[in-house]
Amino acid sequence: MGYDPIWRDFSKARFKIEYFGKIKAAGFNHVRINLHPFRDNPGLAEETNTISHHYLNTLDWAISNALAQGLMVVVDFHEFTLMGHDPEKYKKAFLKTWDILANHLKNQPDSVLFEILNEPNSKLTPELWNQFLRDALTVIRRTNPNRVVIIGPGQWNSIDMLPKLELPESDRNIIVTIHYYAPFDFTHQGTAFAGKADKVDIRWGSQDDVRTLIQDFDRAQTWAKQHKRPVYLGEFGVYDRAPEPDRYIWLQHVVSEAESRQWSWAYWQFDGNFVAFDVRTEKWNEPVLRAIIPKTQK
């Protein structure tokens, strides 16, 4: 829903209420709602405005309908571009936004989780991110002392940056998220937004490829056990220009390795560049769906 016009004009929504039921029926147990409050609330980033009633009402609509289908909800602050470009400039607006959201959602059930920031990056270095996450967590804990909060490492929630992630030891209501798109040339081949529009036909699936994936996940698991933190694989996916069946083999391995370590996971994304569900035909991309949720698991 993050890139849906619904946040600015409900009448132009691509995402329909019945999709929550379709998501549940397909075998998923939660949705991750990507919020772009700066984009959708003019003036909020400059601290000259606040979050509109329409925006909060749309968020309430999404949460209530997800919960009605038995889906847990991750409320994800997805303004990673601006936050990475000039973190100090947007820090006050970032904290103000979380103050508003946390207060607004404070009476939601435990099945609603907060994700402080998707993919901190660039000028929001891992070291600076440690300061920002503590400040945001302090704001959230004023109204949501026991809410489960999701926090990931710097450099795009990279496994490599886990050793630099500093979490308050006394706060155990934290889940650590990591994102996985390795190898990037394979998962993002053909994507204009990543500068790879003409880079295609990259294969995946050799023994060395699988071994690298396992080693990457082992490193994350080792860190998680050392720090006694649960892991949420909050994003993974392959762009649809990748060769078949390599695309589906990669997805199968990622899910299998995550579940063997008892990690929760979320596929990127429902519709869009890494589409799992086609809103034009209102049908699942069956090869993708079956790769991540085999029929025997439904």
Query: Is 88 a residue whose pLDDT tops 70?
Result: yes
pLDDT score for 2: 77
Query: Is 229 a residue whose pLDDT tops 70?
Result: yes
pLDDT score for 297: 66
Q: Rounded to whole angstroms, how far apart are CA atoms 184 and 194?
A: 10
Alpha helices in 47-86 (DSSP H): 53-68, 80-85
Query: Is 161 a residue whose pLDDT tops 80?
Result: yes
How confident is the model over 279-296, as a mean pLDDT?
93
pLDDT score for 230: 98
Structure tokens at 228: 């006694």
User: Mind listing the pLDDT tens digit for each residue in 247-264?
Assistant: 999 999 999 999 999 999
Within 8 A by CB and 6+ apart from 79, the residues are: 35, 36, 37, 38, 39, 45, 90, 94, 117, 118
Residue 296's pLDDT band, with cuts at 50, 70 and 90, is low
- Which CATH number among 3.20.20.80, 2.60.40.10, 3.30.70.980, 3.40.50.1000 corresponds to the domain 5-297? 3.20.20.80
For the chain, how big is the Rg over CA atoms in Å? 19
Query: Is 228 a residue whose pLDDT tops 60?
Result: yes
pLDDT score for 298: 56
Q: Rounded to whole angstroms, how far apart are CA atoms 24 and 180?
A: 24
pLDDT score for 273: 84
User: Mind listing the pLDDT tens digit for each residue in 37-48?
Assistant: 999 999 999 999
Q: Which amino acid belongs to residue 101?
A: L
Query: Is 165 a residue whose pLDDT tops 90?
Result: yes
DSSP 3-state of 35 = strand
pLDDT score for 89: 98
Query: Is 142 a residue whose pLDDT tops 70?
Result: yes
DSSP 3-state of 224 = helix
Within 8 A by CB and 6+ apart from 244, the residues are: 287
Parallel, antiparallel, or unpaired for β 149-151 and 30-35?
A: unpaired
Instruction: Determine what percent of the chain falls in helix, strand and coil, rounding each to the nearest 5.
Output: 45, 15, 40
Q: Rounded to whole angstroms, how far apart are CA atoms 239 and 194?
A: 11
Within 8 A by CB and 6+ apart from 219, the residues are: 159, 162
Q: How far, in Å, are 145, 169, 232 from residue 149 at the CA level?
A: 10, 14, 11
For the chain, domain boundaries: 5-297
